Amino acid sequence: MFAFGSWGDAGHPPIAEYGLDERTTYLPAGPTAVWRAVGRVAGAIWRSPSHFAAAAAAANGWPRRRLLRTVQGALLPAQEPDVCLVHNLMTATSLISLRRLYPGARIALYYHGGETAGTAAPADVRAAFADADIVCTNTHYSRQSLLARGCPAEKVRVIPLGYDLSEFKHGEMRRRYRPDGALRLITVSRLSTEKGLTHLLDALVLAGAAGAPVVCTIVGDGPERAALEHRVTELGLRRHVRFTGVMPRNRVLAEFDRADALVLPSVPTATWEENQACVLQEAMLSRLMVITTRTGGVPESIAPAMDAFAAPPSDPVALADRICRVARLKEPELEALGRANRAYCESRYDIRVLNPRLLSAALGRSMTHDRTPRQG
């Protein structure tokens, strides 16, 4: 396993169980990081001078980029693998050409959607698509994005990201909704403009004015946190909104147990839209309602019954209306919808089903069984 950055939450059970952080070799992502890898590159040259020569021959671009990619290639295995699975387009365009380094290997790319908000689109995406034998992506929306960016249709397979359902056993237990009468909302995201949290705060004011008792927990951190906290004070929401900062995964799941609905009010940007929005499936597996905006791949990533609680992006009035609709539901209705949400995710996002399909695609086996039905 090779990566440009750390795994992050080392306490996440699969990372800890399999020792993924220790088993991962970190590659330099930019020219300034090359010098920190000099010792490792020297060791790689000593072990296999021929592989270093192959990496130098496979590297391309301007001199600084060629040096960077030569170093990346030197740190990759000397023995050609059967298959290379590359996660996300930015990695594919930032990495030495695996096709040139490993001409006999099968190259599989997983496309998670557009670039993160504020990140410029890479210039050489067509080269990445040309190198890949197969390109997997998680929604039909992102498939259309791939085609628009020049990826050949015959290379594309729609295979969503899956979940270990055993992580969500708490979602099988009986839960109480609105135990104190107030609707308990939660949002889990990077605190940045594209997540639409300013619209959520405005919607909370409108929902309160309409008589819906609501409290909200905001999990995460980011560049907009100070502005959001100031806005909470300005709107008089201090008693209703709680900021937790970044939390490890087990604590996030515990917060889901204390919530009634997840809110994801994202807005599209020039280079980004929500795609599968994995936090939605995690919430539904916890039997939460989900209140979303209709953007990107979100409509096809939620249970059909949740479409009634989806609002147009950047529309606090519509978002407040959806919050009020959920607040008016009786507990048996919330219970039934929560169970339907979990059943929907169990039938479509089981990692035991999806991972073999992904590996089949990466290895070039028959894919006649991998077509994910569109919602509805």
Helix or strand (DSSP H, E) at 292: strand 289-293
Residues 143 and 172 in one domain: no
Q: What is the CATH number of the domain that holds 278?
A: 3.40.50.2000
pLDDT exceeds 80 at position 298? yes
Intra-chain end-to-end CA distance of the chain, in Å: 38
The predicted pLDDT at position 8 comes to: 64
Identify whether residues 221 and 233 lie together within a single domain.
Answer: yes
pLDDT at 372 over 70: no
Please give the C-alpha separations between residue 327 and each of 75, 163, 207, 250, in angstroms, as whole numbers: 55, 29, 9, 27
At 169, is the pLDDT very low, low, confident or very high (cuts 50, 70, 90)? confident
pLDDT higher for 10 or 71? 71
Give yes or no: residues 195 and 338 share one domain: yes
pLDDT in tens, 313-354: 999 999 999 999 999 999 999 999 999 999 999 999 999 999
Tell me how many domains the chain contains: 3
Residues 362 and 265 reside in one and the same domain? no
- For residues 197 and 246, membership in a common domain is answered with yes
Residues 90, 72 within the same domain = no
Domain that holds residue 268: 166-348
Least confident among 18-32, 67-81, 138-152: 18-32
* Secondary structure element (H or E) that encloses residue 184, with its range: strand 183-188
Are 337 and 356 part of one and the same domain? no
Residues 214 and 335 in one domain: yes
b (16+ CB within 10 A) / e for 290-315: bbbbebbbbbbbbbeebeebbbebbb
Residues 52 and 157 in one domain: no
pLDDT tens digits, 100-120? 999 999 999 999 887 776 677
Q: Look at residues 78, 95, 115 and tell me which one is the last residue of a structural domain.
A: 78
Is the sign of the CA dihedral 323, 324, 325, 331 positive or negative? positive
pLDDT digits (tens, 9 = 90+) for 215-236: 999 999 999 999 999 999 999 9
Q: Which helix (H) or strand (E) holds 293?
A: strand 289-293
- Asked if residue 237 and residue 119 are part of one domain, the reply reads no
| pLDDT surpasses 70 at 136 | yes
Mean pLDDT in the chain? 91
End-of-domain residue from the set 78, 110, 142: 78
Same-domain status, 151 and 175:
no
187 and 321 together in one domain? yes
| Residue 243 predicted with pLDDT over 50 | yes
